């Protein structure tokens, strides 16, 4: 996809959202169940079901996807797609890219051993290495726009209220 094709695809959407902002509110849903045994949850994904379970640091055996890994994969996927979309819109040729997300979490908080220990992933660092002829100023604009428009990254930076409800 080039910049012209991307703009053509997005132009009618942008016009509709400007003229009727309510139509921009988009619902997204994830589903899952307990179809597998043990302390797991199977989540239906685009590439098929993903069995999530305990990380080895909390008693798992490492055969199931850890929710922290899934979170990093989601933010990295979003940032990667966002970077590519912004580069396309700016007509910046990215010949290739390698994408990496790193973070840490404290198992003491997750296991409830230390109330002072944080629960959740901390200090996410995304490393997006691109092969391009773009200059440093353009790369800085790409990085800023990627941080600004990455939905998952912005959600983590300004977290929504999460409620667990019983159906």
Residue 164 lies in a domain: no
1-6: list long-range contacts, CB under 8 Å, 24+ apart. 1/88, 2/88, 2/91, 3/88, 3/89, 3/90, 3/91, 6/85, 6/88, 6/89
pLDDT tens digits, one per residue of 74-90: 999 999 999 999 999 99
| Confidence at residue 140, expressed as pLDDT on a 0 to 100 scale | 96
Residue 15 lies in a domain: yes
Residue 165 lies in a domain: no
pLDDT tens digits, one per residue of 23-53: 999 999 999 999 999 999 999 999 999 999 9
Domain count for the chain = 1
Look up the CATH number of the domain holding residue 134: 3.30.300.20
Residue 120 lies in a domain: yes
């Amino acid at each position: 996809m080039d910049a012209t094709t991307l703009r053509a695809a997005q132009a009618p959407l942008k016009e509709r959202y400007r003229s009727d902002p309510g139509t921009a509110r988009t619902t997204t849903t994830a589903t899952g169940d307990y179809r597998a045994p043990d302390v797991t949850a199977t989540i239906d994904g685009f590439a098929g079901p993903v069995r999530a379970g305990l990380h080895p640091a909390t008693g798992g055996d490492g055969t199931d996807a850890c929710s922290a890994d899934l979170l990093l994969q989601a933010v990295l996927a979003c940032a990667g797609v966002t970077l590519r979309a912004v580069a396309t819109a700016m007509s910046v040729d990215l010949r290739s890219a390698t994408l990496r997300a790193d973070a840490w979490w404290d198992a003491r908080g997750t296991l409830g051993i230390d109330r002072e220990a944080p629960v959740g992933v901390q200090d996410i660092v995304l490393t997006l290495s691109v092969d391009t002829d773009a200059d440093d100023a353009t790369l800085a604009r790409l990085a800023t726009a990627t941080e600004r428009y990455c939905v998952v990254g912005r959600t983590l930076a300004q977290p929504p209220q999460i409620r667990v409800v019983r159906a």
